[in-house]
Amino acid sequence: MNALKILREAGFSELAYHFAAYIGRQQQTEDPLVTLTAGLLSETISEGHVCLNLNDFQSLNPLVQQVLPDISLWLQSLKQTEVVGQPGEFKPLILTADGLLYLYRYWQSEQQVAQAIKQRLNDSDMLPAADTLTTFMTDWQNSLPDTDWQKVAVLSALRRQLCVISGGPGTGKTTVVLKILQCLQLNEDKPRIALAAPTGKAAARLQQAISQHTGEQYVAKTLHRLLGISARFDQGRYSAERPLPVDVLIVDEASMIDINLMAITLKALPLHARLILLGDSDQLASVESGAVLANLCADEPSFSTEFSAWTKQVSEIDLPATSFVNPLQDSLVKLQHSYRFAAGGVVGQLALAVNQGEAEKVTDLLLNQTPSALAAPTTEHIQTQLLSGYQQFIEAIEQRKDAVSCIQAFEAFRMLCAVKQGTQSVYSVNQMMSQLLAKRGWRTAQPFYPGRPIMITQNHYRQNLYNGDVGVVLPNIDGELQACFLFGGELRWLPLSRLPAHETVFAMTVHKSQGSEFDHIALLLPDEDSAVLSRELVYTALTRARQTVQILSTQTVLKQAVQRRHQRESGLAQLLHGAKSA
């Protein structure tokens, strides 16, 4: 068997090919099956998995399946080579008893995350006085007929050393953060609080929301900046010996945290510190390997008798103790009431149907809209959506309205794409829109022209601009073209020569849209099925919309996407099931 030839013929990446070749050279036995397996593992990690599940034979490339032996012989070959070790050994590849194959670094990160989480499944000793907390909960008025999960989330965050809060858009995660901060300030000993998010845009949005509602000047940072991660310090500047000087760390948009970043974060926290993670576990996972939030939220929440009794004491909430025990008992809360999507609203119905994998219901809901909210991804339909979606923006630019009006008009709509390159992609849509505007007399052939929307693609701390920030090129008061951004109702103008790396953004990927909201969105899917199309991608796109959605896709491709759940291979959930709440 020529392992490298098979990898070439199967269309594996250059990285997978060369990693396989490297592992092949490290073997004394030169077993081609080990070389082939190394290529499989590299390709699997590039797809976002933490490990390769040798038992999941059917998910492997068909060409590779044809040459693989029986699982027992496969495992035997791997165990006999010196490049594969057992858990605890320092070898390039680690094979567990369950048939999960890891790169050493990912195995180590997963073990560190599991161990650190288990250490935090305890009650915290930093609690406001019971009477003070009862008064706070009484004053927090909420008219929900059922269990107020926002209050339960706040109480869990206050009582537990680890708290994971998951909820879809509009379920009140920001309100929960605000209430947690207010409660923490009720302590006699004021804790040191750090706010963070995986991306600069998410961190800026969190900081803005808190300052708008409280007037307090909290600073939210990216996790990389908080931890001191850089090219020189790829593991950050903090460790168990030199921990972060914080008592509480609140991390928003936790679905974007990969396994390695989570390991670095937990390693940097002092043992006494409280960690609060918030996000939407149903959204797309991180770009890098792992789906930590989804792993933590894999089971339904469970609550102990002690926690339920305490919740009743301080909030009058009847929270029944559960018979089953989640590894994160009392530490996991799922927000269930959407304050954004009205009951019976089509966006909320679509999001629910997608999450449940009900492909027929999804297409029926779209087709029953007037006009239909589902159309084929033809050039004509794409152009129609672009011109109608951006009509107010086009008019604002052509009528030379003020900068605030122009930016607000642009932010009302967005075309979201599953892929960045290709015939139905971010690149093709941006090209198409530029051509349509050129026909209206816009100077789109120029590098910068009035009305060109741009998205920052690299964090630039000196300019206070972050990856994902969106602005519009507009003439300033002197008629000079500059990049204009709208943050918290305030305009910020920047000379074009000082712009960080950026790109045109009439369209953006669904991944890039995470954390953003628009009144209207159009989702463009390729006309052929692809492994990148998944339930999580469609759900994430739909829940960016406040009011309406339009999907440009064939019914077949959309149904296949809704039915495909992209579950990343990982051993984290299994490791956590060995943990018990204290």
Known binding residues? 167-174
Measured between alpha carbons, how far is residue 399 from residues 396, 405, 449 in Å? 5, 11, 15
Among candidate residues 348, 343, 253, the one with its CA nearest the CA of residue 546: 348
Structure tokens given for 383: 């152009």
In angstroms, rounded to a whole number, what is the distance separating the alpha carbons of residues 556 and 527?
Answer: 9
SS3 sequence, 261-274? HHHHHHHHCCCCCE
Structure tokens given for 324: 């089953």
In angstroms, rounded to a whole number, what is the distance separating the alpha carbons of residues 508 and 416?
Answer: 5
In angstroms, rounded to a whole number, what is the distance separating the alpha carbons of residues 150 and 238?
Answer: 32
Q: How many residues does this entry show for the chain?
A: 582
With a CB cutoff of 8 Å and minimum separation 6, the contacts of 379 are 432
In angstroms, rounded to a whole number, what is the distance separating the alpha carbons of residues 122 and 304?
Answer: 12
- CB count within 10 Å of CB 520 equals 17
In angstroms, rounded to a whole number, what is the distance separating the alpha carbons of residues 158 and 183?
Answer: 8
Residue 503, judged by CB atoms within 10 A of its CB (0-12, 13-18, 19+), counts as: middle
Bond before 495 cis per omega within 30 degrees: no
Q: List residues forming the annotated binding site for ATP.
A: 167-174
* DSSP-H helix ranges across 346-425: 346-355, 359-367, 379-389, 391-398, 403-410
CA 478 to chain centre: 41
Residue 524, judged by CB atoms within 10 A of its CB (0-12, 13-18, 19+), counts as: buried
